[in-house]
């Protein structure tokens, strides 16, 4: 499926299968095409080419209000003149359901999103988190086969956003409805999703579960977008059944990694996650490989862990993360310390591009 706006290709030949009952994330930077893809699923945009099939039925030409989907927008778009209860019940009233059924289902939704005590309030009397719950209940009240969520947590503060992530997962599991969410927040996608589609420039780079996307990214683009990562360019010098050896000219070290399908003499990239590195003032037992020496240039204190920016002799920077098991003023490492950064063979991930 593709979508063009004049000479601009927003979605480029995407082929994607989303399973029934999944919590599926479309993840990528701004402008990668994820929202356009979501709007095509909703029926607000028509594909330039390709089809949209829901449970065996072609929806490509079906208008939005006739599709078995509903969409929750980032702005929530609540009716300001209606109460919480009236907002949630609106779709059922529009479809002329019996009053008793409207009351019963609305009560269920209020209870599901924990808003029963706020049923008579209007949107301007609610917090951002409460408005988000009302918008969710309104989108779910008609029990769509698919709920589309366009960055629904973007307006919430960090603590409330983290709490709401787990609530969304619990609601989705309880109802069994397929959720498709658009987000640019990697942690959000990793926390909630059964699978993630990582997008870039209108194309899908990888579709996989959260752990696979993080631990074995399909490309350098995916590795760089999902979390912090150190990436070094190098060339394969040796390969056997036990390890692969690559020489990285910057930062100037030999890296041993697990064997992969690359060949001797091939140019590759080596990706290293900061939390998989060990940082210490003393060198490891074998410092001839998978080890770099440098100076702590900067420290990012994040409470439960610290991110050390280590400047290497060639001027490049490598990031290493360490848990803060001591109070900040009691920690062993500080600015300008000379340190060794090392890692195991399993920590090094070899990528072609």
Look at residues 173, 202, 223 and tell me which one is the last residue of a structural domain: 223
How far apart CA 155 and CA 132 sit, in angstroms, is: 9
* pLDDT score for 87: 93
Q: In this structure, are 17 and 126 located in the same domain? A: yes
Look at residues 208, 223, 238 and tell me which one is the last residue of a structural domain: 223
Q: In this structure, are 199 and 273 located in the same domain? A: no
Q: In this structure, are 155 and 268 located in the same domain? A: no
For the cut 80, the answer to whether the pLDDT of residue 54 exceeds it is yes
Q: In this structure, are 216 and 240 located in the same domain? A: no
* pLDDT score for 167: 86
For the cut 70, the answer to whether the pLDDT of residue 24 exceeds it is yes
* pLDDT score for 73: 78
* pLDDT score for 292: 93
Q: In this structure, are 132 and 199 located in the same domain? A: yes
Q: Which are the contacts of 22, defined by CB distance < 8 A and separation ≥ 6?
A: 178, 179, 194, 195
Residue 203 domain boundaries: 3-223
Among 13-22, 202-211, 284-293, where is mean pLDDT lowest? 284-293
Q: In this structure, are 43 and 178 located in the same domain? A: yes
* pLDDT score for 241: 85
Q: In this structure, are 79 and 212 located in the same domain? A: yes
Strand, coil or helix: 231:
strand
* pLDDT score for 331: 61
2-17 average pLDDT score: 92
Residue 192's nearest CA partner among 175, 223, 171 is 171
Q: In this structure, are 212 and 232 located in the same domain? A: no
Output DSSP code: residue 257.
Answer: E
Find the CATH number of the domain harbouring 47: 3.40.50.300
Kindly report the pTM of this predicted structure.
0.87
How far apart CA 96 and CA 83 sit, in angstroms, is: 19
DSSP letters of 4-50?
Answer: EETTEEEE-S------TT-EEEEE--TTSSHHHHHHHHHTSS--SBS
Do 323 and 333 meet the contact criterion of CB atoms below 8 Å apart?
Answer: no
Structural domain count, the chain:
2
Find the CATH number of the domain harbouring 278: 2.40.50.140
Phi, psi values for residue 93, rounded to 5° = -65, -40
- Radius of gyration, alpha carbons of the chain: 25
* pLDDT score for 327: 67
Residue 38: Cβ-neighbour burial (10 angstroms; 0-12, 13-18, 19+): buried
Look at residues 175, 198, 223 and tell me which one is the last residue of a structural domain: 223
Q: In this structure, are 190 and 253 located in the same domain? A: no
For the cut 90, the answer to whether the pLDDT of residue 252 exceeds it is no
For the cut 80, the answer to whether the pLDDT of residue 301 exceeds it is yes
For the cut 60, the answer to whether the pLDDT of residue 277 exceeds it is yes
Residue 16 — pLDDT band, cuts 50, 70, 90? very high
195-212 average pLDDT score: 95
* pLDDT score for 329: 56
Residue 350 — pLDDT band, cuts 50, 70, 90? very high
Residue 328's nearest CA partner among 298, 309, 295, 302 is 302
For the cut 80, the answer to whether the pLDDT of residue 263 exceeds it is yes
Q: In this structure, are 129 and 242 located in the same domain? A: no
Higher pLDDT, 161 or 296: 296
Q: How confident is the prediction for the chain on average, in pLDDT?
A: 90
Q: In this structure, are 208 and 240 located in the same domain? A: no
**pLDDT tens profile 322-348:** 988 776 555 688 899 999 999 999 999
Q: In this structure, are 235 and 175 located in the same domain? A: no
**pLDDT tens profile 207-245:** 999 999 999 999 999 999 998 999 999 999 999 888 999
Quote the percentage of the chain above a pLDDT of 90: 64
**pLDDT tens profile 67-99:** 999 988 777 788 999 999 999 999 899 888 999
Quote the percentage of the chain above a pLDDT of 70: 98
* pLDDT score for 353: 80
**pLDDT tens profile 162-191:** 888 888 898 899 889 999 999 988 988 999
**pLDDT tens profile 112-156:** 888 999 999 999 999 888 888 898 899 899 899 999 998 877 767
């Amino acid at each position: 499926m593709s979508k063009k706006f004049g000479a601009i290709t927003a979605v480029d030949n995407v082929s994607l299968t989303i399973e029934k009952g999944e919590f599926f994330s479309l993840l990528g930077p701004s402008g990668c095409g994820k929202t356009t893809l979501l709007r095509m699923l909703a029926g607000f945009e028509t594909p330039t080419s390709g089809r949209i099939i829901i449970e065996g039925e072609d929806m490509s030409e079906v208008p939005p209000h006739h599709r078995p989907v509903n969409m929750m927008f980032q702005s929530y778009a609540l009716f300001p003149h209606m109460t919480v209860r009236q907002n949630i019940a609106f779709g059922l009233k529009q479809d002329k359901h019996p009053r008793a059924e409207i009351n019963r289902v609305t009560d269920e939704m209020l209870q599901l999103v924990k808003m029963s005590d706020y049923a008579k309030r209007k949107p301007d009397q609610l917090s951002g988190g409460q408005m988000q719950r009302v918008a969710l209940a309104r989108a779910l009240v008609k029990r769509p086969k698919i709920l589309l969520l366009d960055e629904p947590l973007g307006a919430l503060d960090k603590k409330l956003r983290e709490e709401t992530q787990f609530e969304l997962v619990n609601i989705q599991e309880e109802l069994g409805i397929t959720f498709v969410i658009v987000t640019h927040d990697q942690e959000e996608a990793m926390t909630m999703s059964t699978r993630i589609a990582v997008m870039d420039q209108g194309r899908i780079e990888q579709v996989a579960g959260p752990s696979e996307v993080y631990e074995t990214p399909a490309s350098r683009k995916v590795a760089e977008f999902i979390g912090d990562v150190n990436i070094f360019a190098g060339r394969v010098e040796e390969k056997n059944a036990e390890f692969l050896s690559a020489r990285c000219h910057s930062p100037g070290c030999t890296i041993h990694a697990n064997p992969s399908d690359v060949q001797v003499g091939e140019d590759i990239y080596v990706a290293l996650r900061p939390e998989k590195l060990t940082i210490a003032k003393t060198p490891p037992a074998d410092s001839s490989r998978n080890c770099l020496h440098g100076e702590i240039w900067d420290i990012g204190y994040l409470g439960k862990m610290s991110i050390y920016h280590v400047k290497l002799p060639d001027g490049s920077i490598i990031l290493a993360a360490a848990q803060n098991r001591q109070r900040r003023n009691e920690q062993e490492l500080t600015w300008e310390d000379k340190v060794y950064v090392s890692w195991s063979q399993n920590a090094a991930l070899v990528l072609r591009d």
